[in-house]
A and B are shown apart, each in its own frame.
Chain A
Amino acid sequence: MTQPLVEIRNLSRIFRRDSVEVVALKDINLDIPEGDFLALMGPSGSGKTTLLNIIAGLDKPTSGVVRVGGIEVQRMNEDELAEWRNHHVGFVFQTFNLIPVLTAFENVELPLLLTGLSGQERREHVLTALKLVGLADRVDHYPRQLSGGQEQRVAIARAIVTDPTIILADEPTGNLDARSAEEILTLLQQLNEQLHKTIILVTHDPRAAHYAKHERHLEKGVLLPPGVTYTVEERA
């Protein structure tokens, strides 16, 4: 069996504020193979975002190990992490987080400014990414001139423009209406099936299960075994 792309071993994250301790993640073990599309589900406060942030190197675990592509994420220093993220991680947020003063094109171009690509090469990459998300005709629009669904598609284009190893999406449909949400989920599915991108999707959305290959649930910082869903009352 080949090595999984993401290996999580005995991962815990405890937040300490003043004298209060919050155990956000408790002894998580998880393998995610390359090419997987995993839906990570769970009630609010169960630790989904925290787990995603640690995988992306945006936050450090209190204990345990995260390896992505064989590299121990928490071992890297700030600068190494920044470069690693630029090359290997595409992040999609619930609130889109586009830069309001930049056009769709420029927002997607942003991560490429850190690479050695020429202006012409950057342009080609950006247009390819925007075409992929179906926004080739919106390149010069500013975020405020786009619908929520379109904004999120620009954000996805920004996440894939550097051709990352893994795409991490934190409730990308949370701020969208049902139709736009389905479009986004379909788009992620295409990226997974056609471009073989590994995707971790954090969501509350039960529809997500129809799009992802696997589904895992978190509850109060504990990763439930495969097939076990979190308790229904909290889901309502």
Chain B
Amino acid sequence: MSYSGFVWRNGTRNKRRAILTMLSVALALFVLSTLVTFVKEIDRNLEETNPLRLITRHAVSLTNPLPVRYRARIESIPGVVAVTPLTWFGGIYIDEAHTDFMQFACDAKTLFDVYPEIALPPEQKEAFIKDRTGVIVGRRKAEKHGWKLGDKITLKGAIYPVDLELTLRGIFAGTPNQEAAIYFHREYLDEFPGWWQGTVGTFWIRVDAADSVPRVIEAIDAQFRNSDAPTRTETERAFNMGFVSMLGNLKGLVAAISSVIIFTILLVTANTMAMSVRERIREIAVLKSLGFRRRQVVGLLISEGMAITLTGGLIGCLGARLIWTSIDLAAFSQGFFQQLEVSWRIISLGGLVAALVGLLSTVIPAYHAARLTVAEGLRHVG
């Protein structure tokens, strides 16, 4: 029998109690690792943004369109390198479960000036620009849906009452988030008669230098301040952050929830360990009568508590990793959220938190039990 074998045997002697404690720690760490991963994912999204890219949209709301003719006036502002319109289509591909990407109506000729990171082979780029019904998609999505160049991709409009029959002309590579959007010609959408003719959702702008950013923002919004469609211009980061801020003070909330969770499992395990130690006062005295030192007894009990919480914690974190990677989050969120992968770093951190909970919850009862003299312990009944 090894020392660790003895610890494990003691820790799991009351099977139901050990399992319930492990489960509560597992559940807590599942939620904890998920929350932390969620915040990290949002942070990563923001980091991927380009500081030289601005977005102009209607001052009232994103759902209000802007006149397409604004483009020329934005282009004429000093510091602006390129402007391209982008309109969120929000259609359905086959059904909601298959719609794991966002769709944008764009201007094919200027899209790549503003989005140099859309890496597309030159001949595909040319084919896309030439084909009025052409569409380009990300590599991961092409693989997932089995799309080949020349394939037809039909989008059923949800906001726009039109069905678009698109032809795949290019497959580009990028980060998972970049690859989560597909682009087709806004001219094609504009052919269908309706309120949207002559309008765009947003303009995406590239500026020449970081110094120009505040001035260009100010200049664009000043241009249109007194028109029917006033604008609001902001950096790509601020724009994305606007989506995040819909969730409120996310980080503060996550921190608060996390502390409550940790505190709760601390109380639960402290209670369990106190019970488990109290029931074994006599046994602890026997160990000491055999020659176990006080510190060895404390070590034994703490290891027990830590073994239980660490096991539970790892089950929770690994469970979160398994569940979130096997669920198709992209389809679930219609392309807004591409992945939620609980990293090994977060899993190790979760294990550490769980082990620490085990340590803290056992140290006091263990210390008290070990401090009793053997004679006192042996007289203990119960």
Contact = CB atoms under 8 A, between A and B. Distances in A.
Contact of A97 (B3, B286, B292): B286
Interface stretch (A102-110, A145-153, A176-184, A189-197): A102-110
Interface in B276-298: 282-283, 286-294, 296
B291 A86 contact: yes
Contacts of B289: 56, 58, 85, 89, 91
Interface residues of B, number: 22
Interface string B3-39: 1001001100100000000000000000000000000
A58 B375 contact: yes
Nearest to B374: A58
Contacts of A228: none
Contacts of A99: 283, 286
Most interface-central of B282, B292, B378 (chain A CB within 10 A): B378
B246 interface: no
B283 A97 contact: yes
Interface stretch (A4-12, A66-74, A75-83): A75-83
Interface string B33-66: 0000000000000000000000000000000000
B380 to A, nearest CB: 11
Given A58-B373, A59-B373, A100-B13, A111 B1 contact: no
A114 interface: yes
B291 A82 contact: yes
B117 to A, nearest CB: 61
A16 B290 CA distance: 27
A216 interface: no
Chain A at the B interface: SS class: helix
A28 to B, nearest CB: 16
Contacts of B375: 50, 53, 58-59
Q: How large is the interface on A (under 10, 10 to 19, 20 to 34, 35 or more residues)?
A: 20 to 34
Contact of B291 (A105, A109, A114): A114
Given A53-B374, A106-B1, A93 B286 contact: yes
Contacts of A48: none
Given A91-B289, A158-B290, A113 B1 contact: yes
A101 interface: yes
Max chain A Cβ within 10 angstroms of own Cβ: one of B282, B286, B291: B291
B282 A97 contact: yes
Contacts of A100: 13
A60 to B, nearest CB: 8
Interface string B362-373: 000000000001
A82 B13 contact: no
Given A106-B1, A158-B290, A101 B10 contact: yes
B290 A111 contact: yes
Most buried by B among A58, A78, A86, A162: A58
A58 B290 CA distance: 11
A130 to B, nearest CB: 14
Contacts of B9: 101-102
Contact of A85 (B3, B283, B291, B373): B291
Contact of B293 (A82, A89, A93, A111): A82
A232 B129 CA distance: 116
A102 B1 contact: yes
Interface of B: 1, 3, 6, 9-10, 13, 282-283, 286-294, 296, 373-375, 378
In the A-B complex, the 9 residue pairs with the smallest Cβ-Cβ separation, listed nearest first, are A86-B291, A58-B374, A59-B375, A111-B290, A82-B293, A97-B286, A101-B13, A53-B375, A101-B9
11 contacts: A53-B374, A58-B373, A58-B374, A59-B374, A78-B294, A89-B289, A93-B378, A110-B287, A111-B291, A114-B290, A114-B292
